Amino acid sequence: MSAMRALVRVISWVGGLCLAGALLFLAVQQSQVVEPAKEMFLSIAGVRTFAPEDPCVQNDAANAIVARIDYTDAHALHTLFDRVDVWQVEAEQQTAVAMISPAQQEWLAQEGYPFTEETEQTAALPDPCAFQALADSRSISGYACYRTVEATHADMASLAEEHPDLAELNDIGNSWYKNRSLGVAGSDIQALVLTNSRSTGFEKGELVVIAAQHPRELTTTEIATLFAELLLSEYGADPDLTWLLDYNRIHIIPLVNPDGRTWVEKGHYWRKNTNSNSGCEFPMNGVDLNRNGSFLWNHCNGCSSGDVCSNFYRGTKAASEPETQAVETYLREVFADQRGESYNDPAPEDTNGVFISLHSYGRLLFYPWEHASTPAPNRDGLRRLGRKMGYFPDYRVCNPEQCMYRFDGSATDFAYGTFGVAAFTYELGTTFFQSCPYFESYIVDQILESLVYAAKAARRPYQLPAGPDVIEASAEPPRLLPGKEVILTATADDTRSAGSGSDTEPAQAISAARFSIDAPSWLATTFETLQPLDGAYDATVELLKGSLDTTGLQPGTYTIFLEAQDADGNWGPPTALSIEVVAVPTGRAPTQYKQYLPRVWR
């Protein structure tokens, strides 16, 4: 009997502890305990949301410089990855740009690595103390053009609320902090899906854009968010953007690594996620999410690092991090597997889907493979679309080993290798903490145009970029009565490709052009032709002209899709414009009054 009482007491005691723990957890979640208790709870969980020292005392860049380092071969470069924070590599010159501490400067000198300081970049290194003084909930301190994590999440939610038929915000997973703290700290990883939910019954193109795997690359999250805002704000106003949501699904994940981004907001040059289990001290803890992917993880020598303190640390196993798991799981839901099981199996020419991973910096655009210089099975199609997208910002389009360095475990290799979709990595701009004037003048418009082209090609990324672009399309008059004629003009251009000489796409003569009404070519049943203004299709750029008789059209707005074909028979992506047919005025006829005449005239 006494044993039974003892057992009951133990069970009651354990149950009480569990209940107390649950109540404490709920109280912390609801912020109903004082901040020290919350921090104690997070500390026990291994979650650090504040620097171990005052940011005015602990500065990642204190006494560090940015330097250009000469290296001799691939082995020497891989050694640098493990020892210093490499920012950029210029493969042809065999130089690397890196931030190096005084101790690292001594090591470089001892190991025979010549280096010179980049004084302008050194002067621009962030100061966490200054960031703390300029704290702002809407924008990153000193960089008003970049939203904070909080502001980005709020704006994405607002877009979904304001456009319920066009946008849906989905929670696709948790950050490392959120998993570790059971939701007390950290963030959701969110995907904003843009499409006209009322347009159904046909195959839609799929485009996925992710940003901020490396949170110190400030431009990436803002570009992704601006892309969403552009598509939604212009829907119904710009027909060439409207059709993108009618016939595609565009998925935008602006903050893959929200935890790391919060440290950037405090002035730290944070690259990895915030995993503190690696055994490396703050602020070098974490895993490089773009080396943690499950496709050919840790595949090639020097393509990632096993050093837990390296900024290129790949993690303990493939897809070990919750952020990586969230993105890969989501991509499996979006894309069909369209490539064979063999490493050398190409995806079919009619593959659907484009994946874009936004990074910085270098003014580069990479196509697979990123882990090898060996051509990917769809190399020609990947390079062609890359050159078309690279045309707008005038970026160099290349395999990474050709113009920077190779790396494994990347999101781009995962997307192409697993599904066969056309996948790319952008390296935006000229530095991580890009100034707002440069961002607004040389990145925003150019990259948004590039992303619009990606959306146009998303349904058939290995086919549509082979054809000419239709630009400068117009209709005159744009508003007219039924039975009247509208004149269509445009330019067909097969020369718009990044690069020059042998490093660009060959241009073909234009051979035909056409337009369809209220449906793109893959859904239209009838077409009208456009003619070359000079009377002959014989050039790589042709001015086009055509007419549309509106007899029989009911009053309303009509979308006109224009396409051009090259001499090899390739049709390019459509460009859309709109016309409005207005009803004939039906005003009341004037009343006829009998004229009064003097009696003598009657």
Average pLDDT of span 50-63: 59
**Strand ranges inside 482-549, DSSP E:** 485-493, 510-517, 528-529, 531-532, 541-549
Could you give the angle at the alpha carbon of 71 between the alpha carbons of 67 and 75, nearest 5°?
130
Q: Which two tokens stand for residue 57?
A: 């005392």
User: What is the arithmetic mean of pLDDT over 495-516?
Assistant: 93
With respect to residue 9, please indicate whether it lies within any of the assigned structural domains: no
DSSP 8-state secondary structure symbol assigned to residue 529: E
State percent of the chain over pLDDT 90: 78
Which residue, 445, 433, 391, is CA-closest to 219?
433
As a whole number of angstroms, the distance between CA 159 and CA 136 comes to 22
For residues 396 and 354, membership in a common domain is answered with: yes
List the one residue out of 558, 570, 579, 446 whose CA is nearest residue 511: 570
With a CB cutoff of 8 Å and minimum separation 6, the contacts of 198 are 165
Q: What is the reported pLDDT for 500?
A: 77
Q: Which is more confidently placed, 281 or 237?
A: 237
Residue 91 above 60 pLDDT?
yes
pLDDT of residue 11: 52
pLDDT bin (cut points 50, 70, 90) of residue 525 is very high
pLDDT for 10 beyond 50? no
Asked if residue 316 lies in contact with residue 308, where contact means CB atoms within 8 angstroms, the answer is no
Q: How confident is the model at residue 3 (pLDDT cuts 50, 70, 90)?
A: low
- In this model, does residue 600 exceed pLDDT 50? no
Q: Are residues 454 and 472 in the same domain?
A: no
> DSSP per residue over 503-518, as a string?
GSPPP--EEEEEEEES
Full residue range of the structural domain in which residue 456 is found: 135-464
**Mean pLDDT within 269-274:** 94
Q: What is the pLDDT of residue 131?
A: 72
Does residue 4 register a pLDDT over 70?
A: no
Number of domains in the chain: 4
User: Domain check: are 448 and 495 in the same one?
Assistant: no
Could you tell me which residues are beta bridge partners of residue 485? 549
- Tally of helices (H runs) and strands (E runs) in the chain: 17, 23
14-56 pLDDT, tens digit each: 454 454 444 444 444 444 445 555 565 566 666 666 555 555 5
Mean pLDDT computed over 212-236: 98
- Is residue 11 in some structural domain? no
Predicted TM-score (pTM) of the model is 0.90
* Residue that terminates a domain, selected from 412, 430, 464: 464
Tens-digit pLDDT profile for residues 294-351: 999 999 999 999 999 999 999 999 999 999 999 999 999 999 999 999 999 999 999 9
DSSP state of 305: B
Please, where are the H alpha helices in 335-435?
Answer: 379-390, 400-403, 411-419
Is 286 part of any domain? yes
How far, in Å, CA of 71 to CA of 238, rounded?
A: 50
pLDDT of 146-179, one tens digit each? 999 999 999 999 999 999 999 999 999 999 999 9
DSSP secondary structure string for all residues of 547-582: EEE-TTPPSEEEEEEEEEEETTS-B---EEEEEEE-
Q: Is residue 592 part of a domain?
A: no
- pLDDT at residue 283 in the model: 85
Q: Write down the residue that tokens 């910096």 correspond to.
A: 361
User: Which residue in 217, 370, 427, 505 is the catalytic one?
Assistant: 427
Do 481 and 376 lie in a common domain?
no
Query: pLDDT at position 128, please?
Result: 77
CATH number for position 472 = 2.60.40.650
Contacts of 38 (CB under 8 A, 6+ apart): 28, 31, 184
Pairing between β-strand 248-253 and β-strand 188-194 as defined by DSSP bridges: antiparallel
Is 217 assigned a catalytic role? no
Instruction: Please report the pLDDT score of residue 584 as a whole number.
Output: 81
For the chain, what is the mean pLDDT? 89
